Structure 1
Amino acid sequence: MSFPSIIMIDPSQEAAELARFALWRAGLHCDFRACSDLSAARRCLLQGRRQADGIVPSLILLESEMECGEGLELLRELRASKHLCCAPVVVFPSYETEGEREALAAGATEYLPKPVDGEHYARCVVEMVERWCDLSEAAAPLAEGVMAEALADLPGHPQRRREDGQPRGRRSH
Protein backbone atom coordinates (compact mmCIF):
# COMPACT_ATOMS: atom_id res chain seq x y z
CA MET A 1 0.00 0.00 0.00
CA SER A 2 1.44 3.35 -1.01
CA PHE A 3 0.07 6.47 0.63
CA PRO A 4 0.71 9.96 -0.76
CA SER A 5 3.86 11.48 0.71
CA ILE A 6 3.38 15.02 2.01
CA ILE A 7 6.38 17.08 3.14
CA MET A 8 5.67 20.29 5.03
CA ILE A 9 8.58 22.68 5.47
CA ASP A 10 7.55 25.20 8.10
CA PRO A 11 9.16 26.46 11.33
CA SER A 12 5.77 26.44 13.09
CA GLN A 13 5.14 23.15 14.84
CA GLU A 14 1.54 24.25 15.38
CA ALA A 15 1.02 24.72 11.62
CA ALA A 16 2.39 21.24 10.92
CA GLU A 17 0.28 19.59 13.61
CA LEU A 18 -2.86 21.36 12.40
CA ALA A 19 -2.13 20.16 8.85
CA ARG A 20 -1.58 16.60 10.10
CA PHE A 21 -4.81 16.75 12.10
CA ALA A 22 -6.76 18.15 9.13
CA LEU A 23 -5.68 15.23 6.94
CA TRP A 24 -6.55 12.72 9.66
CA ARG A 25 -9.95 14.33 10.24
CA ALA A 26 -10.66 14.25 6.49
CA GLY A 27 -9.92 10.51 6.48
CA LEU A 28 -6.91 10.88 4.17
CA HIS A 29 -4.12 8.42 4.92
CA CYS A 30 -0.82 10.13 4.08
CA ASP A 31 2.84 9.75 4.86
CA PHE A 32 3.15 13.22 6.41
CA ARG A 33 6.54 14.60 7.42
CA ALA A 34 7.26 18.04 8.83
CA CYS A 35 10.63 19.77 8.61
CA SER A 36 11.01 22.74 10.91
CA ASP A 37 14.16 24.17 9.33
CA LEU A 38 15.95 24.23 6.01
CA SER A 39 18.74 21.85 6.99
CA ALA A 40 16.17 19.18 7.98
CA ALA A 41 14.31 19.81 4.71
CA ARG A 42 17.49 19.43 2.70
CA ARG A 43 18.29 16.15 4.46
CA CYS A 44 14.76 14.87 3.94
CA LEU A 45 14.36 15.88 0.29
CA LEU A 46 17.79 16.12 -1.27
CA GLN A 47 19.23 12.96 0.27
CA GLY A 48 17.42 11.01 -2.48
CA ARG A 49 19.42 12.94 -5.05
CA ARG A 50 22.51 11.17 -3.79
CA GLN A 51 20.73 7.84 -3.49
CA ALA A 52 19.02 6.15 -6.43
CA ASP A 53 16.08 5.09 -4.26
CA GLY A 54 14.93 8.62 -3.37
CA ILE A 55 11.14 8.81 -3.23
CA VAL A 56 9.49 11.78 -4.88
CA PRO A 57 6.95 13.40 -2.54
CA SER A 58 3.38 13.70 -3.77
CA LEU A 59 3.26 17.29 -2.47
CA ILE A 60 5.65 19.74 -0.80
CA LEU A 61 4.22 22.60 1.27
CA LEU A 62 6.88 25.29 1.68
CA GLU A 63 6.90 28.29 3.99
CA SER A 64 8.87 30.76 1.88
CA GLU A 65 9.75 33.12 4.72
CA MET A 66 12.04 30.69 6.55
CA GLU A 67 15.44 31.76 7.85
CA CYS A 68 15.79 35.15 6.19
CA GLY A 69 13.68 34.21 3.18
CA GLU A 70 15.87 31.26 2.15
CA GLY A 71 12.81 29.11 1.48
CA LEU A 72 12.88 30.18 -2.16
CA GLU A 73 16.55 29.19 -2.38
CA LEU A 74 15.55 25.69 -1.28
CA LEU A 75 12.84 25.72 -3.95
CA ARG A 76 15.47 26.52 -6.59
CA GLU A 77 17.58 23.60 -5.32
CA LEU A 78 14.57 21.28 -5.56
CA ARG A 79 13.91 22.36 -9.13
CA ALA A 80 17.56 21.73 -10.01
CA SER A 81 17.34 18.19 -8.61
CA LYS A 82 16.75 15.49 -11.20
CA HIS A 83 14.33 13.52 -9.06
CA LEU A 84 12.43 16.49 -7.53
CA CYS A 85 12.15 18.83 -10.50
CA CYS A 86 8.53 17.85 -11.19
CA ALA A 87 7.22 17.41 -7.63
CA PRO A 88 4.35 19.82 -6.90
CA VAL A 89 5.52 22.56 -4.53
CA VAL A 90 2.97 24.90 -3.03
CA VAL A 91 4.55 27.98 -1.49
CA PHE A 92 2.44 28.46 1.63
CA PRO A 93 3.64 31.66 3.36
CA SER A 94 2.40 32.76 6.77
CA TYR A 95 1.87 36.30 5.65
CA GLU A 96 0.31 37.54 2.48
CA THR A 97 3.32 39.21 0.95
CA GLU A 98 4.10 40.29 -2.53
CA GLY A 99 6.23 37.19 -3.06
CA GLU A 100 3.99 35.37 -5.51
CA ARG A 101 5.91 36.45 -8.60
CA GLU A 102 9.26 35.47 -7.04
CA ALA A 103 7.89 32.11 -5.84
CA LEU A 104 6.49 31.22 -9.26
CA ALA A 105 9.73 32.34 -10.94
CA ALA A 106 11.68 30.08 -8.54
CA GLY A 107 9.57 27.12 -9.64
CA ALA A 108 6.53 27.00 -7.33
CA THR A 109 3.59 25.07 -8.68
CA GLU A 110 1.18 27.27 -6.73
CA TYR A 111 1.34 30.22 -4.32
CA LEU A 112 -1.24 30.34 -1.55
CA PRO A 113 -0.92 32.44 1.64
CA LYS A 114 -1.97 30.57 4.79
CA PRO A 115 -5.42 31.45 6.05
CA VAL A 116 -5.40 32.96 9.54
CA ASP A 117 -8.52 31.10 10.70
CA GLY A 118 -7.71 27.56 11.89
CA GLU A 119 -10.76 25.91 10.32
CA HIS A 120 -10.12 27.62 6.97
CA TYR A 121 -6.43 26.64 7.19
CA ALA A 122 -7.35 22.99 7.79
CA ARG A 123 -9.79 23.02 4.86
CA CYS A 124 -7.13 24.63 2.65
CA VAL A 125 -4.56 21.88 3.46
CA VAL A 126 -7.06 19.13 2.65
CA GLU A 127 -8.03 20.83 -0.62
CA MET A 128 -4.37 21.10 -1.68
CA VAL A 129 -3.78 17.41 -1.00
CA GLU A 130 -6.95 16.50 -2.88
CA ARG A 131 -5.86 18.67 -5.82
CA TRP A 132 -2.23 17.55 -6.13
CA CYS A 133 -2.16 13.93 -4.89
CA ASP A 134 -3.43 10.61 -6.17
CA LEU A 135 -5.92 9.77 -3.45
CA SER A 136 -6.93 6.33 -4.68
CA GLU A 137 -5.14 4.72 -1.73
CA ALA A 138 -5.26 7.66 0.67
CA ALA A 139 -9.04 7.59 0.99
CA ALA A 140 -9.35 3.78 1.02
CA PRO A 141 -10.14 2.13 4.34
CA LEU A 142 -7.06 0.76 6.07
CA ALA A 143 -6.65 -2.99 5.93
CA GLU A 144 -7.08 -4.76 9.24
CA GLY A 145 -3.79 -4.89 11.07
CA VAL A 146 -2.18 -1.90 9.29
CA MET A 147 -3.04 0.48 12.14
CA ALA A 148 -1.98 -2.05 14.78
CA GLU A 149 1.34 -2.51 12.98
CA ALA A 150 1.85 1.26 12.73
CA LEU A 151 1.10 1.75 16.43
CA ALA A 152 3.06 -1.27 17.68
CA ASP A 153 6.25 0.69 18.40
CA LEU A 154 4.55 3.68 20.01
CA PRO A 155 4.44 3.94 23.80
CA GLY A 156 1.06 3.24 25.34
CA HIS A 157 -1.23 6.01 26.44
CA PRO A 158 -3.75 6.13 29.25
CA GLN A 159 -7.10 4.89 28.05
CA ARG A 160 -10.16 6.97 28.73
CA ARG A 161 -12.54 5.25 31.04
CA ARG A 162 -16.26 4.87 30.65
CA GLU A 163 -18.56 6.21 33.32
CA ASP A 164 -18.54 2.78 35.00
CA GLY A 165 -14.74 2.96 35.39
CA GLN A 166 -13.95 0.33 32.76
CA PRO A 167 -11.53 1.15 29.89
CA ARG A 168 -13.33 2.00 26.66
CA GLY A 169 -13.63 -0.87 24.23
CA ARG A 170 -13.89 -3.52 26.95
CA ARG A 171 -17.19 -4.94 28.06
CA SER A 172 -17.80 -5.77 31.68
CA HIS A 173 -19.19 -9.23 32.32
Structure 2
Amino acid sequence: MNLPTIVMIDSSPEATEMVRFALWRSNLRCTFNVYPDAASARRCLLQQRRRSSDGPAPALILLESDLDYTDGLDVLRELRADSRMADVPVVVFPSYDMEGEVEALEAGANEYMPKPVDAELFTRCIAEFYRRWCSAPTGSGGGGGNGGQQPSGMRQARRRSDWVRPVTQWMGPAAFC
Protein backbone atom coordinates (compact mmCIF):
# COMPACT_ATOMS: atom_id res chain seq x y z
CA MET A 1 0.00 0.00 0.00
CA ASN A 2 1.35 3.40 -0.97
CA LEU A 3 1.03 5.96 1.77
CA PRO A 4 -0.08 9.47 0.78
CA THR A 5 2.58 12.14 0.99
CA ILE A 6 1.89 15.37 2.80
CA VAL A 7 4.32 18.22 2.19
CA MET A 8 4.60 21.19 4.52
CA ILE A 9 6.34 24.37 3.43
CA ASP A 10 6.83 26.34 6.62
CA SER A 11 9.81 27.90 8.39
CA SER A 12 8.32 27.36 11.85
CA PRO A 13 9.64 24.25 13.62
CA GLU A 14 6.78 24.55 16.11
CA ALA A 15 4.13 24.42 13.37
CA THR A 16 5.91 21.48 11.75
CA GLU A 17 5.94 19.54 15.00
CA MET A 18 2.28 20.37 15.61
CA VAL A 19 1.35 18.84 12.24
CA ARG A 20 3.58 15.84 12.92
CA PHE A 21 1.94 15.41 16.33
CA ALA A 22 -1.56 15.82 14.87
CA LEU A 23 -0.89 13.07 12.31
CA TRP A 24 0.50 10.78 14.99
CA ARG A 25 -2.24 11.56 17.50
CA SER A 26 -4.97 10.90 14.92
CA ASN A 27 -3.21 7.69 13.79
CA LEU A 28 -3.04 8.94 10.20
CA ARG A 29 -0.42 7.13 8.19
CA CYS A 30 1.45 9.10 5.56
CA THR A 31 4.85 10.24 4.42
CA PHE A 32 5.49 13.73 5.82
CA ASN A 33 8.07 15.96 4.15
CA VAL A 34 8.98 19.42 5.39
CA TYR A 35 10.65 22.24 3.51
CA PRO A 36 11.60 25.16 5.77
CA ASP A 37 11.94 27.72 2.99
CA ALA A 38 10.89 28.50 -0.55
CA ALA A 39 14.28 27.61 -2.04
CA SER A 40 14.29 24.04 -0.75
CA ALA A 41 10.61 23.60 -1.71
CA ARG A 42 11.32 24.78 -5.25
CA ARG A 43 14.40 22.58 -5.50
CA CYS A 44 12.70 19.43 -4.21
CA LEU A 45 9.18 19.81 -5.56
CA LEU A 46 9.79 21.44 -8.91
CA GLN A 47 13.36 20.90 -10.13
CA GLN A 48 13.81 17.39 -8.76
CA ARG A 49 10.39 16.28 -10.04
CA ARG A 50 11.32 17.47 -13.53
CA ARG A 51 14.37 15.20 -13.44
CA SER A 52 12.50 12.18 -12.08
CA SER A 53 8.91 12.56 -13.22
CA ASP A 54 8.06 8.96 -12.40
CA GLY A 55 7.55 9.61 -8.67
CA PRO A 56 4.05 10.31 -7.40
CA ALA A 57 3.00 13.85 -6.64
CA PRO A 58 2.16 14.72 -3.03
CA ALA A 59 -1.41 14.12 -1.92
CA LEU A 60 -1.49 17.47 -0.09
CA ILE A 61 0.67 20.56 0.40
CA LEU A 62 0.34 22.73 3.51
CA LEU A 63 1.81 26.15 2.71
CA GLU A 64 2.66 29.00 5.06
CA SER A 65 1.96 32.19 3.13
CA ASP A 66 4.53 34.24 5.06
CA LEU A 67 7.84 32.47 4.38
CA ASP A 68 11.23 33.91 5.22
CA TYR A 69 12.58 36.07 2.38
CA THR A 70 9.66 35.37 0.03
CA ASP A 71 5.92 35.29 -0.31
CA GLY A 72 4.50 31.78 -0.05
CA LEU A 73 1.92 32.69 -2.66
CA ASP A 74 4.75 33.07 -5.20
CA VAL A 75 5.65 29.43 -4.49
CA LEU A 76 1.99 28.50 -4.95
CA ARG A 77 1.88 30.24 -8.34
CA GLU A 78 5.00 28.32 -9.41
CA LEU A 79 3.42 25.04 -8.30
CA ARG A 80 0.28 25.79 -10.29
CA ALA A 81 2.37 26.64 -13.36
CA ASP A 82 4.12 23.24 -13.26
CA SER A 83 2.07 20.58 -15.07
CA ARG A 84 3.12 17.84 -12.62
CA MET A 85 2.07 19.84 -9.55
CA ALA A 86 -0.89 21.80 -10.95
CA ASP A 87 -3.55 19.44 -9.57
CA VAL A 88 -2.03 18.81 -6.14
CA PRO A 89 -4.34 20.21 -3.43
CA VAL A 90 -2.73 23.13 -1.60
CA VAL A 91 -4.01 24.47 1.69
CA VAL A 92 -2.61 27.87 2.56
CA PHE A 93 -2.08 27.42 6.28
CA PRO A 94 -0.80 30.74 7.65
CA SER A 95 0.18 31.42 11.24
CA TYR A 96 -1.92 34.58 11.29
CA ASP A 97 -5.14 35.42 9.51
CA MET A 98 -4.07 38.59 7.76
CA GLU A 99 -7.08 38.77 5.41
CA GLY A 100 -5.14 36.87 2.77
CA GLU A 101 -7.85 34.39 1.85
CA VAL A 102 -8.87 36.10 -1.39
CA GLU A 103 -5.26 36.42 -2.56
CA ALA A 104 -4.51 32.78 -1.69
CA LEU A 105 -7.53 31.48 -3.57
CA GLU A 106 -6.73 33.69 -6.55
CA ALA A 107 -3.16 32.32 -6.56
CA GLY A 108 -4.55 28.78 -6.83
CA ALA A 109 -5.06 27.53 -3.28
CA ASN A 110 -7.75 24.90 -2.79
CA GLU A 111 -8.34 26.08 0.75
CA TYR A 112 -7.28 28.77 3.22
CA MET A 113 -7.21 28.06 6.95
CA PRO A 114 -5.26 30.02 9.59
CA LYS A 115 -3.50 27.70 12.02
CA PRO A 116 -5.52 27.18 15.19
CA VAL A 117 -3.70 28.07 18.41
CA ASP A 118 -5.51 25.40 20.42
CA ALA A 119 -3.76 22.02 20.16
CA GLU A 120 -6.97 19.98 20.13
CA LEU A 121 -8.48 22.10 17.37
CA PHE A 122 -5.19 21.99 15.46
CA THR A 123 -5.24 18.17 15.60
CA ARG A 124 -8.84 18.04 14.36
CA CYS A 125 -7.98 20.49 11.58
CA ILE A 126 -5.08 18.34 10.30
CA ALA A 127 -7.19 15.17 10.55
CA GLU A 128 -9.91 16.86 8.49
CA PHE A 129 -7.39 17.95 5.84
CA TYR A 130 -6.12 14.37 5.70
CA ARG A 131 -9.61 12.91 5.30
CA ARG A 132 -10.55 15.49 2.70
CA TRP A 133 -7.46 15.42 0.52
CA CYS A 134 -5.60 12.15 1.21
CA SER A 135 -8.20 9.46 1.91
CA ALA A 136 -9.83 9.01 -1.48
CA PRO A 137 -7.16 9.21 -4.19
CA THR A 138 -8.27 10.66 -7.49
CA GLY A 139 -5.98 11.59 -10.35
CA SER A 140 -2.38 12.62 -9.82
CA GLY A 141 -2.87 14.64 -6.66
CA GLY A 142 -4.47 11.98 -4.50
CA GLY A 143 -7.19 14.37 -3.43
CA GLY A 144 -10.80 13.68 -2.90
CA GLY A 145 -13.20 15.11 -0.54
CA ASN A 146 -16.34 16.99 0.08
CA GLY A 147 -16.36 19.68 -2.58
CA GLY A 148 -14.52 22.28 -0.56
CA GLN A 149 -17.02 22.48 2.27
CA GLN A 150 -15.77 23.95 5.51
CA PRO A 151 -14.85 21.17 7.95
CA SER A 152 -17.02 21.04 11.02
CA GLY A 153 -15.65 22.79 14.07
CA MET A 154 -12.60 24.34 12.39
CA ARG A 155 -13.62 27.96 12.92
CA GLN A 156 -15.18 27.54 16.33
CA ALA A 157 -14.06 29.48 19.35
CA ARG A 158 -10.57 28.67 20.54
CA ARG A 159 -10.07 27.33 24.04
CA ARG A 160 -7.12 26.40 26.13
CA SER A 161 -5.86 22.85 25.59
CA ASP A 162 -5.47 20.34 28.38
CA TRP A 163 -2.63 18.45 26.70
CA VAL A 164 0.96 18.98 27.51
CA ARG A 165 3.65 16.92 25.85
CA PRO A 166 7.19 18.06 25.06
CA VAL A 167 7.94 18.38 21.36
CA THR A 168 10.97 16.11 21.79
CA GLN A 169 8.69 13.17 22.56
CA TRP A 170 6.67 13.39 19.36
CA MET A 171 8.96 12.19 16.60
CA GLY A 172 12.38 12.54 15.08
CA PRO A 173 13.69 15.38 12.94
CA ALA A 174 11.82 16.64 9.90
CA ALA A 175 12.37 14.94 6.56
CA PHE A 176 14.14 16.83 3.81
CA CYS A 177 14.79 15.81 0.23
Q: How far 1:14 sits from its partner (Å)?
A: 1.2
Tell me the residue number matched to 1:157: none
Tell me the residue number matched to 1:80: 81
Q: Any idea what the Cα deviations from partners look like across 1:135-157, whole Å, max 9, x if unmatched?
A: 69xxxxxxxxxxxxxxxxx9xxx
Say if 2:36 is the partner of 1:33.
Answer: no
Give the whole-Å Cα distance in 1 for the aligned partners of 2:5 and 2:126.
14
Aligned amino acid, residue 123 of structure 2: A
2:65 aligned counterpart, secondary structure:
coil
Aligned amino acid, residue 32 of structure 1: F
Give the whole-Å Cα distance in 1 for the aligned partners of 2:26 and 2:53.
33
Give the whole-Å Cα distance in 2 for the aligned partners of 1:128 and 1:69.
25
Tell me the residue number matched to 1:132: 133
In structure 2, the gaps of 5 or more residues are 138-171, 173-177
1:33 aligned counterpart, secondary structure:
strand
Q: How far 1:120 sits from its partner (Å)?
A: 1.1
- Flag the 1:98–1:69 CA change in 2: closer, same or farther, 3 A: farther
Worse-matched range after superposition: 97-106 or 63-72: 63-72
TM, length-normalised to structure 2: 0.73
Q: Any idea what the Cα deviations from partners look like across 1:84-131, whole Å, max 9, x if unmatched?
A: 000000000100111111100100000111111122112111111111
Give the whole-Å Cα distance in 2 for the aligned partners of 1:105 and 1:45.
21
Superposition map of 1:46-85 within 5 A:
46=46, 47-85=48-86
Aligned amino acid, residue 88 of structure 1: P
1:79 aligned counterpart, secondary structure:
helix
1:124 aligned counterpart, secondary structure:
helix
Q: How far 1:69 sits from its partner (Å)?
A: 4.9
Assess if the C-alpha contact under 8 Å between 2:3 and 2:30 holds in 1. Answer: yes
TM, length-normalised to structure 1: 0.74
Aligned amino acid, residue 102 of structure 1: E
Which contiguous aligned blocks of 4+ residues in structure 1 show a shift greater than 4 angstroms?
A: none
1:102 aligned counterpart, secondary structure:
helix
Assess if the C-alpha contact under 8 Å between 1:49 and 1:82 holds in 2. Answer: no
Tell me the residue number matched to 2:92: 91
Q: Give the greater-gyration-radius structure (CA).
A: 1
2:32 aligned counterpart, secondary structure:
strand
2:66 aligned counterpart, secondary structure:
coil
Report percent identity of matched pairs: 56
Give the whole-Å Cα distance in 2 for the aligned partners of 1:43 and 1:130.
28
Assess if the C-alpha contact under 8 Å between 2:63 and 2:92 holds in 1. Answer: yes
Give the whole-Å Cα distance in 2 for the aligned partners of 1:101 and 1:59.
20
Q: How far 1:39 sits from its partner (Å)?
A: 1.1
Give the whole-Å Cα distance in 2 for the aligned partners of 1:38 and 1:19.
19
Q: How far 1:26 sits from its partner (Å)?
A: 1.0
